[in-house]
Amino acid sequence: DAGITQSPRHKVTETGTPVTLRCHQTENHRYMYWYRQDPGHGLRLIHYSYGVKDTDKGEVSDGYSVSRSKTEDFLLTLESATSSQTSVYFCAVQGAFGTDTQYFGPGTRLTVL
């Protein structure tokens, strides 16, 4: 347990509405990540952050934006949700500095109708 919580844990929304998912960590990890998990694709990186206000794109960043105004919080925003963004979203943190191991939160299941 790397002290990661995600909120909400479940959300149902409609196409075209904005959605923000929150990842909160309590152990001062520098690197944070957002992944989505879909059948047949495993987990795919959406965006990541390497410090406050420092973020970069991952493999599947289209339609998503992120923000990190505090070390402990990493927000993922869907500006205008689409049905293709129905997925399970996982936040992760890098373990000890200099290692490549990541530790994951419990996930948010998002359904876009």
Partner 1 sequence: DQQVKQNSPSLSVQEGRISILNCDYTNSMFDYFLWYKKYPAEGPTFLISISSIKDKNEDGRFTVFLNKSAKHLSLHIVPSQPGDSAVYFCAATRTGTASKLTFGTGTRLQVTL
Cβ closest to partner 1, residue 14 vs residue 59:
59
Q: In this structure, what token pair is assigned to residue 79? A: 């500006």
Q: Does 7 bind partner 1 (CB under 8 A)?
A: no
Q: Does 48 bind partner 1 (CB under 8 A)?
A: yes
**Which of 7, 16, 41, 69 lies at the binding interface for partner 1 (CB under 8 A)?**
41
CA distance linking residue 28 with residue 17, whole number of Å: 32
Q: Of 88, 89, 65, which is closest to residue 77 (Cα–Cα)? A: 65
Residue with the two structure tokens 């205008």? 80
Residue with the two structure tokens 């206000």? 53
Residues that bind partner 1 (CB under 8 A): 4, 31, 33, 35, 40-45, 48, 50, 56, 58-59, 90, 92, 94, 99-107
